[in-house]
Amino acid sequence: MTNRTALVTGASRGIGLECAKALAQAGARVVLAARDTGRLEAASKEIVNASWVELDLASPDSIKSAFAKAGKIDILVNNAAVTKDNLALRMKKEDWDAVIATNLTGAFLAIQQVLAAMLKERWGRIINISSIVAESGNPGQANYVASKAGLIGLTKSLAQEIGSRNITVNAITPGFIETDMTAGLPEERKSAMLAQIPLRRFGKPADVAAAVRFLASEEASYITGHVLAVNGGLYM
């Protein structure tokens, strides 16, 4: 990945930060993007040849500004996501809109920002981080599940649209990964989940990052429109 530049959204912590580290270790220059500038600055210091930009995926203006500062991007990892869980009957429209705006619309607008340069160069990697629930469903997360399922549809449509220009578009569906987002779950819930995972362990951000690194590499140049499950066998 030498001479390639990768931008990772939601890169201030968790899966996004691990993805940024993995891509940097593979030789890419990495741009970390997220809302928390303090975390971004600290995280970027841990990675050789890394920089950062402030990015709010719910804001089209912020997206344009961030990508203008980042410059030409060869590898885009759409990882940033938010949750606003509730039962469908009680879900407020603003909570539905907020999750769709960041997780799906924001990812699409980010892709638009990098497409022109990728098409011109006839090389690119777009990797969308979806979720296991996009395929299995999950009660109380209609907005989140819809946004992540939408990412899979977006992935497959784009893969067909721009494949002739040597740009691959793939999605990853992580299962239960040990992050800040899952740390607060009750122990009973974690135990019940663990019992359903054939590999009998929870995933780590590095497991997802390894998949991202592979899909961004030349070794994955004949893989596009694929949905790669990184879930320990929890959903098959």
Mean per-residue pLDDT, 36-40: 96
pLDDT at 186: 86
Q: Sheet with 124-129: list strands edge to edge.
A: 50-54, 29-34, 5-9, 75-78, 124-129, 167-174, 227-230
Respond yes or no: is residue 222 known to be catalytic: no
Q: What is the mean pLDDT of the chain?
A: 96
Provide long-range contacts, Cβ within 8 A and 24+ apart, for 34-43: 34/9, 34/10, 34/80, 36/12, 39/12, 39/13, 40/11, 40/12, 43/11, 43/12, 43/13, 43/17
Tens of pLDDT, residues 72-118? 999 999 999 999 999 999 999 999 999 999 999 999 999 999 999 99
Tens of pLDDT, residues 201-213? 999 999 999 999 9
pLDDT at 130: 98
Tens of pLDDT, residues 174-183? 999 998 767 7
Evaluate whether 173 touches 128 at the Cβ level (below 8 Å): no
Give the pLDDT band of residue 62 (cuts 50, 70, 90): very high
Of all residues in the chain, what percent are helix, strand and coil, respectively (each to 5)? 50, 20, 35
With a cut of 90, say whether residue 184 has pLDDT above it.
no
Tens of pLDDT, residues 142-161? 999 999 999 999 999 999 99
Give the pLDDT band of residue 35 (cuts 50, 70, 90): very high
Sole residue written with tokens 């961004």: 216
Give the pLDDT band of residue 220 (cuts 50, 70, 90): very high
Q: Report percent pLDDT > 90 for the chain.
A: 92
Residue of 67, 144, 176, 202 with catalytic role: 144
Domain 5-178+205-229 matching CATH 3.90.1150.10: the answer reads: no
Give the pLDDT band of residue 1 (cuts 50, 70, 90): confident
Give the pLDDT band of residue 185 (cuts 50, 70, 90): confident
Evaluate whether 106 touches 57 at the Cβ level (below 8 Å): yes
Q: What residue segments make up the domains of the chain, in order of their start?
A: 5-178+205-229
